[in-house]
Structure 1
Amino acid sequence: MTLDRAPAMIARQASTRLVIEQVLRGGPISRAEIARGTGLSKQTISEVMRELERGGWVREEGQVQGAVGRSAVTYAIRPDAAFVLGIDLGGTKLHLALADLHGQIVAEIVEPTQHAGGAAVIEQIGRLADTLVEKVGIARDRVRSAVMGSPGIVDPRSGAIMIAPNVPGLDTFDVRAALRARLGIDVAIENDVNLAAVGEHWCGGSKDARSFAFVALGTGIGLGIFADGRLLRGARGAAGEISYLPLGGDPYDARGHRVGTLEMAVGSAAMLGRYVALGGSDKLTVREIFDRLDEDAAGRAVMDEVARIVATAILAIHSIIDPEVVVMGGNVGARPELVRCIAAHLGRCMAEPVRIESSRLGGRATLIGAIAGAIDQVHQAVFGIGAGTGLRAPPDLAMAAAS
């Protein structure tokens, strides 16, 4: 490109970004509405829309009646212009979904996570991705991006995933590079709780909140933080590792160095140990304990103690980030009985208790967050925009995600 053409190219790229932002935020949208939202001339908008149509990124969606009786064509992003891959890697199960640019899942698959971990998990993800592409019947190059949610945090220097004891071997190699090589597309890795918070912000109960906290409680405990509309990751990606808060036990106890003091007090193992100590059966799971609370005094005592400790943690979170709402997720945290109990304890330790509610997306929050992140990556790669485009989930996506 010659220097005299550079300003024109930069101006066209800027115009394209402005137009596509309007389509993403307000689509279906007419050219007149785009002009009002961007300040661009009708000629520039027409030229940009023609280019986007030729490239297969937008399409005519319908018509809207104008103020003087004339109808105008409306445009929207073509959902099938590209596809993305969402990956939820857990210690016991691996969940993959292929979705279009509207976030609609076109195929998904779940199977137990490879016990061997490490490279075996990378190959398992690749095999399942191949299965989804073949099932939908699309060319592989139409899958443009992938995001994986994983326990632990990604070391920015080595690319290894640290503090993920339930999936062994991920701390010994560059996981992102291995996934990119196997899948042949751009891949991002994010903490699973952070992605669950992204999912909630996209189409869950906290989508209208600028600042909120997502607390996941199950085998362990984690936190996803949205502050002023953006996910907070911290200097090393470790923001939200609340399992290490010095609550519920002695932070100087070396046994807590691996999983954290708070997790030792409220994680599933702690609940089961407390239940047995109160005379309960050692044959029950945490789910089974919650299912029989009405007839089990020991179970109610365990829930109350866990709720009290979690309420203390939420008080600490509230004191730092002042969230509008705290969303409880995870296979234990989202239980309505526990959420009600936590709310009762918050009423005792806060003058104005923060609003607390159960996740609307349940166990699919991380997967939905991964899809949202992958779509955002496509927007960034193709149009130079992302993480602030105001991407809206279709109304039926939230219902589908929660089913």
Structure 2
Amino acid sequence: MRVLHVIPSVGPLRGGPSSVIRSLACGLSEQGIEVHICTTDDNGPERSDVPLGRPRIENGATVFYFPRQFRLYTVSLPLARWLMRNVHHYDLVHIHAVFSFASTIAAFCARARRVPYLIRPLGVLNAWGLRNRRAALKQLSLRLVEKLMFASAACVHFTSEQERQEALKAGVSAPSVVIPNPFSPLPTALSKGEFRNAHPAINNRRIILFLSRLDRKKGLELLLEAFACLRRGEACLVIAGDGEHAYKQHLRATAERLGLADEICWTGFLNGSAKAAALADADVFVLPSYSENFGNAVVEALIAGVPVIISDQVAIHAELSSCEAALVVPCEAAAISSALGHLLSSPELAGRLRDRGPAAARELFSLESVAGKLLESYRKILRSSSGEEAAQIKSGATPARTA
């Protein structure tokens, strides 16, 4: 089976979707699938230093990078031309993201060549996502572009039941499957002390870690307000991530206004061994998002054995709460502050979460399990597609596939 994955970016600065696609490629390759990825050299405000237009082997997959020509919608005409010429060579197309040039052109080419495709919308169909960041443009695009994309899709791939229910409210009622993101083993062994040594200003204070993109949907203003309510000098808030320059300046100004300038360590984007070091030294991980269709950083913290606090808008909150692997709070500064204080003052509670987190993550989000579920979904789609082709041939119509 040859499967083409199309995603606007796999740049590290784009966060979770980039790491997930690499894990999926590895897991699906181990299941015997020939995996190809079509993407751009986008890396947030930067460009990835990669060969363009030539195949490159990464994580068991063949990756084709094309130049990003405009940041808005990650437009790449060379990517479009490649898809038009090559999409019919694949049995199936797996599209990651919507409201994107790459996604739109991939769906168009797949429909034109009668190649079945499925869409993973990456959580942007929930109420928060549709109300924020170019909301009017999204609503227009949803009616004029994405509506046809979803109507023609063989399946929509959601990563949580909450994401599926929110998409239904947005009017997406196509056939669907819920398959979570897999966790990726940390690239290096956890070694305590390295992060503290690299950031001596932390001193001996407890570390409250935020490890994600700096984005308004992540609830960082709530976290700053919650942290300001804690007793000063006992903990240091580490904000590890990158984002738009204007938003970073806004966060720093907010911290200054709250009197937190000396209580926060801003590390910028962390990856690889630096991320592993931060998780090794963290006493608490917090993600108070207003909207989160999955929460890859949450799973990384669980695997690392870090006690986790998440909002009830992180889509996997119900699963983690049911196995008592995380503290779940509403998107309110007072609730976040209370949970932080409780966890930092209760070694017994912290110990229970450290023990339960890794086991819960492995049980719910193992790569082998996720890849196996995806493979079964692919097979069902292809069986259904073959049945439709047979019916068309019997009736004298044009077969559904040209490859």
What TM-score bracket applies, with the shorter chain setting the length? 0.3 to 0.5
TM-score under structure 2 length normalisation: 0.35
TM-score under structure 1 length normalisation: 0.35
User: Rg: which structure is higher?
Assistant: 1
